[in-house]
Amino acid sequence: MDFSLPEDLTAYLSELDRFIDQTIKPLEQRDDNIRFFDHRREWARTDFDKGGLPRHEWEDLLRQAKNLADEAGHLRFAIPKQYGGKDGSNLWMAVIREHFAAKGLGLHNDLQNEHSIVGNFPLVTMLDRYGRDDQKAMIEGALTGKYRITFGLTEPDHGSDATHMETTAVRATRDGVSGWVINGEKMWTTGMHVATHCATFARTSGNDGDARGITCFLVPANTKGVKVEEYLWTFNMPTDHPRVSFTDVFVPDDALFGEVGRGLSLAQCFVHENRIRQAASSLGAAVYCINESVRYARERKPFGHALSENQAIQFPLVELATQAEMLRLLIRKTAWEMDRMTQADVEHRLSDKVSMCNFWANRLCCEAADRAMQVHGGMGYSRHKPFEHIYRHHRRYRITEGSEEIQKRKVAGFLFGYMGAGKFETTEKSR
């Protein structure tokens, strides 16, 4: 059994580090772009006079970094080779994302915007697996920014259980064109302020609670009847998370995305990849907070002695460091196993481990950021240190990507034998 990382992976991490130092860091320092990452970050990123939306300068900077990463061959690493990618594995992506987040805040990797020089593109996965040829043709534009597709699944009254959504789509014909009329509301449709399309999920048949009968549509954002009702201000600003209404929105049949009545398959097609990568990012951010706290505790000398001599400082960080070490092994083992399974096998045989990684990493990151604030004292609480930003951002992941409770329910289903491939095995083994 060999736990060492492949040599080509460690070599690629070094290549990425050189690219960051030689290309991304200079851009980060140019024209006072550092304002987006230092104590001014929330103000610099947020246009408070325009509803709290991201400032254009901030989003333009992220696009510049992506373009540079794309030119260097890094941005598309995780996507199929046919779209210019490298078929990056789950293990490699997990290691890369932890590595990036452990560096702290920076233009190389800013998870508040799901931004990274090694991109994560769940909608590319959706288009590749479920799109028609004309929809797959949108992939290149989605990567370069020509197309911005938002995700309309959650509703004001329905979050984790999408099978009870109230948005409906019914068949209709207008001006001789066959299509659908959509009515309803969606929440957290991130990016609608710059979107070209919204992947909108609506019930087309069946009853509340049925997984079947939900269909996905690629609705052009400028379609009549599509309206941003409000942008919800959040714990971490800026906000690009609106509530969107769909009132008698007509779309032709070619707006169908995937099979009629099988829309939830699209929503689930990338959930495990997303969760394991996001867990790795939270682990990396936790490691950053731990390392910075250890460094500060060794340098700070109140009453003439290093802060690190106090067990009250040592022991909480020891516990966090221990959890980080154990979690890293679980994340990498789970990602490695995912690379050896089909999507269906991951769902039935490994989904519980993905959920373990995700909910524990998100909690660990919040605990590490909170401890870092405590160790750093008043400065830790200030925005001159990044810990409050890390806490406020990563706190969302205990709700999004499947809340902690949803993740635990998945683990419990496997553990107690009523979900997964091991269904009933627990009962049989106990006899």
Looking up residue 335, the CATH number of its domain turns out to be 1.20.140.10
Domain that holds residue 50: 7-122+137-144
Give the residue, 123 or 337, on which the prediction is more confident: 337
Same domain? For 71 and 154 the reply is: no
Query: Beta strand 214-220 with 197-203: parallel, antiparallel or unpaired?
Result: antiparallel
Q: Is 47 part of a structural domain of the chain?
A: yes
Q: What number is the average pLDDT over the span 54-73?
A: 98
CA distance 36 to 34: 5
The DSSP H or E segment spanning 90 is: helix 90-101
Same domain? For 37 and 153 the reply is: no
Closest CA to 89 of 349, 361, 336, 401: 336
Q: What is the CA radius of gyration of the chain?
A: 23
Is 184 in a helix, a strand, or coil?
strand
Give the pLDDT confidence of 2-57 residue by residue, as tens digits: 899 999 999 999 999 999 999 999 999 999 999 999 999 999 999 999 999 999 99
Give the pLDDT confidence of 133-148 residue by residue, as tens digits: 999 999 999 999 999 9
Closest CA to 389 of 107, 191, 104: 104
Contact 331, 367 (CB under 8 A): no
Same domain? For 279 and 229 the reply is: no
- Helical ranges in 102-151 per DSSP H: 122-130, 133-136, 139-144
Same domain? For 318 and 197 the reply is: no
Give me the residue label for tokens 């107690």: 416
Cis omega before residue 386 (within 30°)?
Answer: no
Same domain? For 107 and 178 the reply is: no
Give the pLDDT confidence of 361-420 residue by residue, as tens digits: 999 999 999 999 999 999 999 999 999 999 999 999 999 888 999 999 999 999 999 887
Q: Report CA-CA distances (Å) from 233 to 52, 153, 180.
A: 7, 19, 32
pLDDT value of position 428: 46
CA distance 375 to 291: 11
Q: Is 331 part of a structural domain of the chain?
A: yes
| Residue at a domain's end among 205, 236, 257 | 257
Same domain? For 301 and 368 the reply is: yes
Q: Is 2 part of a structural domain of the chain?
A: no
Same domain? For 160 and 297 the reply is: no
In DSSP terms, which residues pair with 158 in a beta bridge?
155
| Residue at a domain's end among 257, 288, 307 | 257
CATH of residue 222's domain is 2.40.110.10
Look at residue 187 and tell me whether its pLDDT is greater than 80: yes
pLDDT level of residue 427 (50, 70, 90 thresholds)? very low
**Total count of domains within the chain:** 3
State phi, psi for 75 to the nearest 5 degrees: -55, -40
pLDDT value of position 421: 65
CB atoms within 10 A of CB 285: 34
Same domain? For 25 and 168 the reply is: no
Q: Is 131 part of a structural domain of the chain?
A: no
Same domain? For 208 and 301 the reply is: no
Tokens, residue 185: 């509301």
DSSP string, 189-249: -TTTTT-SEEEEEEE-SS-TT-STTEEEEEEETTSTTEEEEEEPP-SSSS---EEEEEEEE
Same domain? For 196 and 326 the reply is: no
CA distance 161 to 208: 10
Q: Is 425 part of a structural domain of the chain?
A: no
Closest CA to 16 of 68, 85, 57, 61: 68
CA distance 28 to 36: 9
Tokens, residue 77: 């690493």
Look at residue 425 and tell me whether its pLDDT is greater than 60: no
The structure's pTM equals 0.94
pLDDT level of residue 430 (50, 70, 90 thresholds)? very low
Q: Is 129 part of a structural domain of the chain?
A: no
Q: Is 188 part of a structural domain of the chain?
A: yes
pLDDT, mean over the chain: 94
pLDDT value of position 431: 44
Contact 215, 260 (CB under 8 A): yes
pLDDT value of position 25: 98
Same domain? For 23 and 46 the reply is: yes
Same domain? For 384 and 415 the reply is: yes
Give the pLDDT confidence of 105-142 residue by residue, as tens digits: 999 999 888 899 999 998 899 999 999 999 999 999 99
Q: Is 429 part of a structural domain of the chain?
A: no
Q: What number is the average pLDDT over the span 217-244?
A: 96
Nearest 10 degrees: Cα torsion 410, 412, 415, 418? -80
CA distance 427 to 431: 7
Non-local CB neighbours of 123 within 8 Å, separated by 6+ positions? 142, 149, 151, 199
| Residue at a domain's end among 83, 109, 144 | 144
Contact 213, 270 (CB under 8 A): no
Give the pLDDT confidence of 287-316 residue by residue, as tens digits: 999 999 999 999 999 999 999 999 999 999
The DSSP call for residue 378 is: H
Give the pLDDT confidence of 268-290 residue by residue, as tens digits: 888 999 999 999 999 999 999 99
